[in-house]
Amino acid sequence: MGATVKFDDLTERCGEWLRGSGPEADIVMSSRIRLARNLADFPFIRRCTLADRQAIVKNFQQRIFKDGGLQQAGIDKYLVIDVDKLERVDRQFLVERQLISRELAESEGATCVALNETETFSVMVNEEDHLRLQVMHSGLDLHNAWERINRIDDFLESRLSYAFDDRLGYLTACPTNVGTGMRVSVMLHLPALVLTKQLEKVFRALQKISLAVRGLYGEGSQASGHFYQISNQITLGRSEEELIDQVAEVVPMLIEYERKARQFLVKESQKDLHDRVSRAYALLCGAQTISSEETMDLLSSVRMGINLGLIHDLEIPVVNKLFIHTQPAHLQKIRGAALDRADRNIERAVYLRQHLRQDGEGNKN
Amino acid sequence: MKCQHCEKPATFHITEITGSEEEREVQEVHLCEGCFREYINQPEEPVEPNASLLGALAQQFKIGKTAEKLAKLDAQTCPMCGISFQEFRQIGRLGCPHDYEAFGAELEPLLLNIHGATEHKGKRPKRNASRRQSELLRLRREMQEAIEKEDYERASELRDEIRKIEAET
């Protein structure tokens, strides 16, 4: 196996997509593309027996993952994890890092994920479809993400027989994904549009052109931390490039709206804004116990404050990392023990104090 | 009588007629004044791709189908994976790639509703899976059934056939 990465190594690190670089990274957290693919000779997952699911995993292990097979697709170091054998907290940990979906975390029997060292690529086996490939880059970087995932898909296709129909394209378990099987999403940080109450108007306009809006953790999740994912709804009848362009064209407009809303706040209520940002920072640095929701909310204000030059001694990658590392499973992994809600809130406050003070004192590691 | 949309008393009673000439569907709608205003001011739904699959499914099969027709539709099964159309309608997930062919006539308007299109445009695999591969699906299922019935002779025949196709592909 090409695995020189260990599962536990992930805990202290953070995914490259959080590094806060790439175009428009002050507002665009990440760009993600996923492809849904199925094997031609197995039923879709809901109709699979356990033996089928095991055979599918074995298939991928032997044809793709073993002996560093993915290196031929440009994935140098990677790790293959049997998700069904993981403890609940470890599964949740992978969900929080956006490496697997909640659906995969909750399913039982022969599921796995392969992910690369920088966590910019992952492939889930036996989720809703046999394969769900994902490439995630920092900032607004859809075209590079597409180039990369397309290459990986080409490699897989050379070794597997995908379920494909000449007229309908890639066949998927759910008809909403058929055709390209592609979901293009861009995660945006839109605190000023929330504060100025303009978000709903913007989203209604997006839905009219069949783009979907979701929260930080995808379908059905709340938009915590004022993060919103914009993605395509349609997968059939348009080429991959057209789908990417549709999202790529709308994002600069959203960025501009957000920037304008920020400028408006700076101009019209500079004092209130500065106060909000400073209080948020002070609370995060001084709290003794704090919930995940409050943390996300405060971090959002701090993140905007850094971008507006109201906070000088903290950097965006640190804040990006804190959004993920203060999630429940992360705190438990970092602490190395199971913690109930109350203990997590205390642990979260400790973690925040440590990391914010450390970085606040001149960005020493 | 209470309004269907809220708890206020219903003062407007509407008979809504939908469906085609041959198959009229009549529905009674009871609303309070506030909800009635909203109801009559609703613009005609434009034909837009429908985001929610189950919503689209419900919409498509509710309109213009008699109970008898619907039952007949629901009883259809895919010869490869054995899923019935009713099961698909309930869970919103298909059973195997062959369902797109087996339920083609019903899926076509659904795809049009969801995507506004019925033809793939975009990437194609360089090589196509052979049709025999979906046969594998059926053979594996039949083998499983034979084992469950303890018909081991049939099961071993099927296993040989499966191995043959697996070796070819």
> What 3-state DSSP class applies to A40?
coil
**Which of B45, B83, B96 best tests the A interface by mutation, with the highest count of A CBs <10 A?**
B96
pLDDT tens track, chain A, 365 positions: 444 567 878 887 888 888 888 888 899 999 999 999 999 989 999 999 999 999 999 999 999 998 888 998 889 899 999 999 999 999 999 999 999 999 999 998 899 999 999 999 999 999 999 999 999 999 999 999 999 999 999 999 999 989 999 999 999 999 999 999 999 999 999 999 999 988 888 888 888 888 888 877 665 555 688 999 999 999 999 999 999 999 999 999 999 999 999 999 999 999 999 999 999 999 999 999 999 999 999 999 999 999 999 999 999 999 999 999 999 999 999 999 999 999 999 999 999 999 997 655 544 33
Say what the pLDDT of residue A67 is.
85
Q: How many CB atoms lie within 10 A of CB A197?
A: 9
Q: Which residues pair with A188 in a beta bridge?
A: A28, A228
What is the spatial distance between Cα A97 and Cα A163, in angstroms, rounded to a whole number? 30
Instruction: Tell me the chain B residues in contact with residue A38 when contact means C-beta distances shorter than 8 Å.
Output: 97
Contacting A residues, span 36-65, partner chain B, CB-CB under 8 Å: 38, 40-47, 49, 52
For residue A330, give how far its alpha carbon lies from the nearest alpha carbon of chain B (Å).
33
At residue A221, the pLDDT reads: 56
- Give B81's contacts in chain A (Cβ within 8 Å): 43-44, 47
Task: Tell me the ipTM for this assembly.
Answer: 0.86
A253 at the B interface (CB within 8 A)? no
Helix axes B104-115, B53-62, angle to 10 degrees: 120
Q: Do A173 and B94 touch (CB under 8 A)?
A: yes
Closest CA to A214 of A233, A195, A191, A242: A233
Maximal CA-CA distance, chain B:
71
pLDDT band (50, 70, 90) for residue B130: low
Label residues B49-74 b or e (16+ Cβ within 10 Å = b): bbeebeebbeebbeeebeeeeeeebb
pLDDT the model gives residue A124: 97
Partners of A52 on chain B (C-beta within 8 Å) are 140
Among candidate residues A295, A79, A204, A240, the one with its CA nearest the CA of residue B122: A240
The model's confidence at residue B46, banded by pLDDT at 50, 70 and 90, is very low
- pLDDT computed for residue A338 by the predictor: 93
Q: Tell me the shortest Cα–Cα distance from A146 to chain B, in angstroms.
A: 12
Contact A22, A104 (CB under 8 A): no
Which of B96, B117, B126 lies at the smallest CB-CB distance from A157? B126
B8 or A308, which is more confident: A308
Reply yes or no on whether the pLDDT at B169 is more than 80. Answer: no
CA A25 to CA A46: how far, in whole Å?
Answer: 39
- Which amino acid appears at position B25 of this protein? E
Residue B16: predicted pLDDT: 62
Test A174 with B92 for CB contact under 8 angstroms: yes
Residue B44's pLDDT is 41
For residue B56, the chain A residue with the least C-alpha distance is A176
What is the spatial distance between Cα A300 and Cα A246, in angstroms, rounded to a whole number?
27
Instruction: Say what the pLDDT of residue A199 is.
Output: 86
Cβ–Cβ contact A174 with B under 8 A: yes
Residue A257 pairs in a beta bridge with: none
Q: Which amino acid, A69?
A: G
Whether A263 and chain B come into contact, CB under 8 Å, resolves to no
Cβ contact A44–B137 (<8 Å): no
Distances from the Cα of B155 to the Cαs of A28, B78, B136, in angstroms? 56, 21, 14
Fill in the amino acid letter for A262: R
Query: pLDDT tens digits, residue range B63-75?
Result: 666 777 788 888 9
pLDDT (0 to 100) of residue B62? 65
Q: Pick the residue with more confidence: B25 or A8?
A: A8
Q: Which residues contact A17 (CB under 8 A, 6 or more apart)?
A: A29, A30, A98, A119, A120, A136, A137, A138
Q: What is the DSSP letter of A10?
A: G
The encoded tokens of residue A235 equal 């997968």
pTM of the entire predicted model:
0.83
Residue B127 CA to residue B147 CA, distance in Å, equals 34
A358 close to B (CB below 8 A): no
CB contact (8 A) between residue B115 and residue A171: no
Q: Strand pairing of A112-116 and A121-125?
A: antiparallel
Q: Is the pLDDT of residue B26 over 80?
A: no
Contact yes or no for A210 and B49 at CB 8 A:
yes
Q: Which of residues 219-248 of A touch B (CB under 8 A)?
A: 233-242
pLDDT top residue among B90 and A365: B90
What pLDDT does B31 receive?
A: 76
A157 touches B: beta carbon within 8 Å: yes
Tokens of A201: 């108007």
Instruction: Report the pLDDT value the prediction gives residue A218, as an integer from 0 to 100.
Output: 61
pLDDT band at B37 (very low <50, low <70, confident <90, very high): low
Give Cβ neighbours of residue A227 (< 8 Å, ≥ 6 apart).
Answer: A29, A187, A188, A189, A190, A215, A216, A300, A323
Contact list in B for residue A157 (CB cut-off 8 A) is: 125-127
**Side chain identity, residue B3:** C
Q: How far is B86 from chain A (nearest CA, A)?
A: 14
What pLDDT, on the 0 to 100 scale, is given for residue B17?
A: 57
The stretch B95-109 carries a mean pLDDT of 93
Q: Where are the beta strands (DSSP E) in A197-313?
A: 211-214, 227-232
- Distance (Å, rounded) from C-alpha A181 to C-alpha A133? 10
B contacts of A180 (beta carbons < 8 Å): 120, 122-123
Measured distance CA(A199)–CA(A33) in Å, rounded: 24
Q: DSSP character for A38?
A: -
